[in-house]
Amino acid sequence: MWRALIDYRLKPLKLTQTHWVTLHNISQLPPEQSQIQLAKAIGIEQPSLVRTLDQLEEKKLISRHTCANDRRAKRIKLTEESEPFIKTVDQVINNTRTEILSNISHDELGQLSLLLLKLEKNILRLQNDS
């Protein structure tokens, strides 16, 4: 539901939730991360990321260049054009998040956070047991 709503809200900007997640992670990571590092940060496989990066590069929001130390690796950086664009997208995301959480109390959010942490611990434990 979140993805569909964000896709709908970002449609006027010709972006998707996947584009936003990618741009957001690039902006949060140290400069000029590799595609591999970015894929790990997002939690997806590198081949899945390439199509999104191609689209963002086509929109002139990112640039990629070959790493000097490893010509197989590509470094990613945001373009100057992306900065105001990212601020607009972040505002759409933050406004949407505020609307979604508007009738949920801080106590309820705290309970939800604790429950999600317990679920995460259980999943990690089960993965380690496998």
Task: Kindly report, residue by residue over 76-88, the tens digit of the pLDDT.
Answer: 999 999 999 999 9
> What per-residue confidence (pLDDT) applies to 69?
74
Residue boundaries of the structural domains of the chain: 2-104
Which of the four pLDDT bands, split at 50, 70 and 90, describes residue 92?
Answer: very high
DSSP 68-125: SS-TT-EEEEE-TTHHHHHHHHHHHHHHHHHHHTTT--HHHHHHHHHHHHHHHHHHHH
- Using the predicted structure, report yes or no on whether residue 72 has a pLDDT greater than 90: no
Long-range contacts of 49-52 (CB under 8 A, 24+ apart): 49/22, 52/18, 52/19, 52/22
Domain range 2-104, CATH architecture: Orthogonal Bundle (1.10)
Helix axes 2-10, 17-28, angle to 10 degrees: 90
- Please say whether the dihedral angle defined by the alpha carbons of residues 44, 1, 53 and 82, taken in this order, is positive or negative: negative
